[in-house]
Structure 1
Amino acid sequence: MTNLSYQIGGCELDCKLMSLKHADNSIKLSSKVFELLMLFIDSPDNVVSRQQAIDNIWLGNEGVGKKGFTNGIWVLRKTFKELGVDDEVFNTLPKLGYQLTLEVQPIEKQVSSGKSRTYTRYGAIAAVTVALILWLSLNHLGTEPPKMKPEADLSRQAKLKVTNYGGVEEHIAVSHDGQRMAMQWRDNSLSGKIYIKELNQADAPLTLISFENNEEASPAWSHSDEKLAYVRIDQQAGCQIRVRNLLDNTDQLIASDCFYIPYKRIVSWSGVDDNQLIYAKKMQDRVALMAYRFDTNLHQQVSFPNKNEIDYAPKWLEGDRQLAFIRERAASNLLSLVLQDGAGLEHELIQNSPSIVDFDYSAREQLFYVNNVDGAAAIISRIRADGSQLAPLAQPGLPSSISLSDNNAMLYVTEHISKEYITQQAYDDGKQLRRISSSSRDMYGKYAKTNDNILFLSNRSALWSIWRNNKVSSKDITHTLGNVGVAAVSPVSTDFAVNIITDTGQTLYIGNMESESYRAIDTQGIEADNLSWSADGNSLYFKGFAKENNGIYKLNVRSGALELITQQQAVYAIEGQDANHLYLSKFDQDGIWHLDRTMDKMTLVTDKLAKYDYGAFYFEQGYLYFLSRDAKRDAVMRIDLAAAEQTPEMVQQFPPDAVRKFFGLSPADGHSFLVTLKLANEADVYGYKLMTK
């Protein structure tokens, strides 16, 4: 077997990282530019015509492809020049296209005896896909007797590429007649827009349905396919539910109190007419589903979550007599797929899962298709209303939005191309001091000051595990204990705290990175999430919930003493200069708050921390460090808490949307910080042809 690397004109192309490197310089290529370069490498005499590129990379879309091809040639020339290659990269061949003139040689490293082969990216992807399918098949045939004889595995069905525009195509929704797909398209910008794609006309241009300068997402077709409901985030970060009439191009505001976090589906329509829709509404301490009727202009609550629970992704079934939705427990990793009947009784089809992403329902098959994760593998589960399951569909991409068309017998899925890596960056000069990366997803690094190790979350093994990096190598230290959450490392020892999730539930453990031993911690019936340590290493802070006693807790891991700190909607807390001064982020709110426990006073410090970066801040040497985002950049900022004017100052900046959400920033050795960055952030839509009986 060979490495997926090529030598091109003195530069090295790393196909796993989609980057070109020369000496100490490395430049990341976008997925379309990378595909274009690979097309040159794979083509006879390294010659590619414009039409060949349009057909292979942009799926025949002339408008997008012509511009993309020209831009791709320019980007590749510029990239090689920036890496010090002065030779001409391409020759122009009249009536033929372009020829890559730089010498191309595969870089081979033998890892086993036998005849060597050179694999292109297509062979590599096929190999990974086959391995994943085999693993799923073996896992399915375990020692547990099956509840039922599974039907044919859907992974054998035809898979079609539906979009290939560059950027991220998300929030997909297929019209009821199966002719059109609405989606959010985001291309090199933080603002996503709603577009409509004609599914039966491959060369038809996308139709933009709104021209407002706002983030728009979560489109949903009305029963007649004549209207489109969607979410708009206005300039003041307010969440609006709006309806666009596609016949007369009018736009109507329905509600200004909805709840939105990127990639969550928020709104849908009645299954019987255009008179009613349903959306997720933000309340004081929970998110509930609200129904709106157009004939009466009335809003009525139709789901009833407990405190700190979030209901979203609604879908009416069976003539609006049943309601299916996802329920998330207080921004934790535990989600349930709920089916509610006309009397309001709830039945959980999937209970307390860490990984439900989206779902849709086939009325023809009477079957739920659920995009989720099994271990560390992305799958699409197929579940009946009684909870019984059929064989799943394996997918090689990261799980995201899903939409089903009974008319077309097609299942449409967004598959993300995303890899993360961790880097240690110096405060003073911004120099990269250390990097942890692999062909898998490595994220949320936590620095151990006692031995300079870094713990991080990775799916390199069959599960999401905690790995330890000691500058020489990385090792899985939670092994097969179960899927894990984000670790918190003790500031005074080699201990760390982590939640481990198994089929029986979630358990908090204290582990030791040297001995790899673990002991369960009694949280006294309270589920603990979003962990951090006290400065003395004796206690853990966490967001806990148990019935109505939700809030930030402090647990002494030696004595077992448990203290409720605050119930003011906080989701993550860290110690400041001492145990009487805490800094908190809050549920569904931008900002960081200071809690002075001596005065029992809560004060907003900054509103520049996004609500989905609730764990991306820390206190160090009198400064509060945090992640700030806007359309131009992601920035690590800090505030001198002793200064009279607590004005944020920039420490270092990155490209927009480059830092992974939630826990993307953490402290290191006092002179540097750890940040989780994304190697790629693109998504395309694929279609699976379903079996018809």
Structure 2
Amino acid sequence: MFLGKLERIKTKIKSIMNSAASYFVGRVEVNPLEHTLVRDEHTISLQPKFIELLCYLAEQQPELLTRQQIIDHVWDGNNYVGEKALTNAIWHLRKALKELDSDQEFIETVRKSGYRLLVAPVFAEQQDTVFLQISSRNIKQLGLFIGFVLSIVFAWLLWPEPQQKVYQQPELITQYPGRELFPSVSNDGRYLVYSWRQMDRKIDLYRKDLQQPDLKHTKITHSPGSESRSVWAHDDSKLYYYRRLSSRCEVLSVNMNDFAIEKHGECSNSSNDVAVSPDGKLLAYVGVDPENTTRGVYIKQLDLNEPARRIRCNNCEPGESEAIDFSPDSTRLAISRNLANGNEDIFIYDIQSKTEQRVVTGLPDIRGLAWQPDAEKIVFSAIKHGNRHGFELDLTSNHKTNLNVEGFSYPAFDRAGNLYYHDWKIDTSIMRLELDSDVAASPFPLIQSDFNFRYPDYSQAADKLTFISNESGFDEVWTSSLDGTQRKQLTQLKFHARNPIWSPDGKKIAFTANNGQESRLYVLDALTSQLKQIKTELNYYGKARWSQDGSALYSASVGDIYRIEIESGIATRITRGAHAIEVKENQLIVYKEGKGLWQVSIDGELIDEQPLIKNLKLANSTGWHVTEQGIYYFKVRGHDYRLSYYDFANNQDKDVLRVPERAFSRSRGMSFVPSKQWLLFTGYESPQVDIKRMRKDYE
């Protein structure tokens, strides 16, 4: 511990020494000790952090420095402060330097990469020691400054390290058939509430007595709807939760004494969350209203008989809110939000000032978060390369710790700081369903191992499969023969690839990917593995589909369908929609959220649209596949999972197969093998999920 502190101090003192000397950038003199920029008789004073930033850029010139490198060096890795402070510092430096020399550009911004100093720093003489450039007045100032630093250093060395919280090994709390999800612990620590999902049964909330764990759990809700995501009132008198019934979603509370139900708001049928402030005054939930169909956060004062209000924000990035929790002092909210670029980031929202700070970025999917009851720390679940992992983020230092718990999902704390979560470790395989079997067939694993296989697509021209696998440790594009043998990894991007689709001639594969900063669209040569990124003005790419001639791709971005020319990258908007497949040249079938499947014909600039299956509600916008005879699609109604088929010949749809809940993934691909009459899709193995607890401990 002592040596670690000493090493950090040595690094800091070295940085101070190296930045003590005055130097020139162009015709502007930089004086680090006086925090000034000087040209002739004109002097501009700046904040010390601004000068420290400039010195770091000068020290590394001509290197391009990422925002994270700069924040780590100048703000000691505190992203919570550094994200906004860096942007502000760059603006002030540019303004001051421009004022002193308007003809010179000093700092370059490389979009989504970082910053570099364009002008090499020049010292008066290339002397052996930097102190030769320091004036006598500066030496005196430096002596006083170093004396001050040393006094702080010794005080810091003598100050004890704060006790760091850790967690004991996970212990099993529930183990019922099916899936126990979304744990919520009463404030007195006695009861655990969760949503229990069993095969072919309604989804209800259940309560387990943690003080008498051998007692059978009891059912709390008894409605025909599906209940989930609950939170206790401050005094444990009520339980707030979501209920989905048909196409409706409501935010409700149940009185734990007389079981009376009260409605508080509306929500969407997508992911939602609910939270109560530690002081018991505020209810927050993710919801929608008639004027705002995008999921946002609503706050209701529980002591007033007034409707909930959607939070407003002076600097918020737009997107779909998903997970929320209050800070221990009830003044802030941690919010995860799905953004237009495909990432899900975490923000800290200040309720009083209506501003927010981004604290976590670059993750494709977050599955729940929770704020520690006695610290400036949050824990969250993130999906990385097919698996769920737990992380703890210190908001003061911005230090992120991997909890090393695979399957960690939707965390919740009790007041003592013990951590609960549901353990989601369900492998995925590529499944095949024989459609022409004389005997009713069940899906059968085609590719199955200890790794995850997802997003299957079959090419009749190549007679091969392509899919995504995490066998290498990352989500990469692979191919195999139809029987699953001769597997070959085609990409080594080392970030999240998705949705591979064969070209009509079976020579290329289009897929989407996210590198933690942006959504990307690629075309891959299946023979040579040569990779081409398709660059357009779009910020996000949904699952792509090939044009019949192989010259373009169709992809959805922010609710619109675009045709993207592969050679030029020109993206042309076609219509509103969530996913499109070109069945004949310039003839599309488009899925429109809430409106079903539509036929869209393109004749130059003329677009003709006709309903094909009106008001069809798919389980996922990409969960369907077109054959010459009809359309196969996933249909989910609560715990009822079915594979259905629409016949072009008679314009009728029918159910092909009913499967256990979660037997297939709604969003991870569907493909058809004409020669064998097989339908391929991503299936889940053994959908058993239990709740676990990690007790609070101290080192």
One fold, TM greater than 0.5? yes
1:259 deviation in Å?
Answer: 1.8
Q: Which residue in the other structure is 1:661 paired with?
A: 666
Q: Which residue in the other structure is 1:421 paired with?
A: 429
After superposition, the Cα gap between the structure-2 partners of 1:387 and 1:669, relative to the gap in structure 1 and judged at 3 Å, is farther
State the alpha-carbon separation in 1 of the partners of residues 277 and 227 from structure 2: 21
- Report 1:32-47 matches (<5 A): none
1:177 deviation in Å?
Answer: 2.4
Out of 686, 692, 697, which is 1:691 matched to? 697
1:681 deviation in Å?
Answer: 0.6
**What is the count of residue pairs matched by the alignment?**
531
1:461 deviation in Å?
Answer: 2.1
Out of 185, 189, 193, which is 1:174 matched to? 185
Q: Which residue in the other structure is 2:565 paired with?
A: 556
Out of 528, 553, 557, which is 1:540 matched to? 553
Q: Which residue in the other structure is 1:605 paired with?
A: 613
State the alpha-carbon separation in 2 of the partners of residues 337 and 624 from structure 1: 38
1:245 maps to 2:263 = no
1:440 deviation in Å?
Answer: 1.7
State the alpha-carbon separation in 1 of the partners of residues 421 and 692 from structure 2: 5
1:272-323 per-residue CA deviation (whole Å, 9 max, x = no partner) reads: 1255443322555521111223422222111569898211222222533212
Q: Which amino acid aligns with 1:481?
A: K
Does the aligned pair in 2 maintain the 1:608–1:628 contact within 8 Å?
A: no
State the alpha-carbon separation in 2 of the partners of residues 307 and 478 from structure 1: 32
Larger gyration radius, structure 1 or structure 2: 2
- Report 1:375-394 matches (<5 A): 375=385, 378-386=388-396, 388-394=398-404
- Report 1:493-512 matches (<5 A): 493-512=506-525
- Report 1:413-492 matches (<5 A): 413-429=421-437, 435-470=446-481, 471=483, 472-492=485-505
1:689 deviation in Å?
Answer: 1.8
Does the aligned pair in 2 maintain the 1:633–1:657 contact within 8 Å?
A: no
After superposition, the Cα gap between the structure-2 partners of 1:169 and 1:340, relative to the gap in structure 1 and judged at 3 Å, is same
1:396 deviation in Å?
Answer: 3.0
After superposition, the Cα gap between the structure-2 partners of 1:552 and 1:631, relative to the gap in structure 1 and judged at 3 Å, is closer
1:124-179 per-residue CA deviation (whole Å, 9 max, x = no partner) reads: xxxxxxxxxxxxxxxxxxxx99959x999988732211111121010111222222
- Segments of structure 1 that go 5 or more residues without pairing to the other structure are 1-143
Q: Which residue in the other structure is 2:540 paired with?
A: 527
State the alpha-carbon separation in 2 of the partners of residues 380 and 684 from structure 1: 16
Out of 573, 578, 581, which is 2:580 matched to? 573
Does the aligned pair in 1 maintain the 2:208–2:217 contact within 8 Å?
A: yes
1:302 maps to 2:315 = no
After superposition, the Cα gap between the structure-2 partners of 1:624 and 1:152, relative to the gap in structure 1 and judged at 3 Å, is farther
State the alpha-carbon separation in 1 of the partners of residues 504 and 344 from structure 2: 31
Q: Which residue in the other structure is 1:219 paired with?
A: 230
Q: Which residue in the other structure is 1:95 paired with?
A: none
Out of 176, 185, 195, which is 1:184 matched to? 195
After superposition, the Cα gap between the structure-2 partners of 1:151 and 1:603, relative to the gap in structure 1 and judged at 3 Å, is farther
1:555 deviation in Å?
Answer: 0.1
1:674 deviation in Å?
Answer: 1.1
1:500-549 per-residue CA deviation (whole Å, 9 max, x = no partner) reads: 3224433221112222221111122432122222222211111224xxxx
State the alpha-carbon separation in 1 of the partners of residues 255 and 167 from structure 2: 39
State the alpha-carbon separation in 2 of the partners of residues 424 and 390 from structure 1: 41
State the alpha-carbon separation in 1 of the partners of residues 227 and 595 from structure 2: 19
1:515 maps to 2:528 = yes
Q: Which residue in the other structure is 1:197 paired with?
A: 208
1:622 deviation in Å?
Answer: 4.4
1:163-201 per-residue CA deviation (whole Å, 9 max, x = no partner) reads: 111210101112222221111001113631111111221
TM-score by length of 1: 0.71
Residues 152-161 or 479-488, more deviating: 152-161
After superposition, the Cα gap between the structure-2 partners of 1:355 and 1:551, relative to the gap in structure 1 and judged at 3 Å, is same
Does the aligned pair in 2 maintain the 1:594–1:605 contact within 8 Å?
A: no
State the alpha-carbon separation in 1 of the partners of residues 369 and 221 from structure 2: 26
State the alpha-carbon separation in 2 of the partners of residues 226 and 190 from structure 1: 28
After superposition, the Cα gap between the structure-2 partners of 1:564 and 1:689, relative to the gap in structure 1 and judged at 3 Å, is same
After superposition, the Cα gap between the structure-2 partners of 1:444 and 1:191, relative to the gap in structure 1 and judged at 3 Å, is farther
1:466 deviation in Å?
Answer: 1.9
Does the aligned pair in 2 maintain the 1:340–1:347 contact within 8 Å?
A: yes
1:558 deviation in Å?
Answer: 2.3
- Report 1:398-409 matches (<5 A): 399-407=408-416, 409=417
1:606 deviation in Å?
Answer: 4.7
TM-align CA RMSD? 3.0
1:413-455 per-residue CA deviation (whole Å, 9 max, x = no partner) reads: 1112412211333432276798111112212211122211111
Q: Which amino acid aligns with 1:681?
A: P
- The list of structure 1 runs, each at least 4 consecutive aligned residues, that deviate by more than 6 angstroms after superposition, is 150-156, 305-308, 430-434
- Segments of structure 2 that go 5 or more residues without pairing to the other structure are 1-71, 79-160
Q: Which residue in the other structure is 2:686 paired with?
A: 680
1:374 deviation in Å?
Answer: 4.3
- Report 1:274-313 matches (<5 A): 274=281, 276-281=283-288, 284-294=292-302, 295-303=304-312, 309-313=319-323
After superposition, the Cα gap between the structure-2 partners of 1:183 and 1:189, relative to the gap in structure 1 and judged at 3 Å, is same
1:391 deviation in Å?
Answer: 2.5
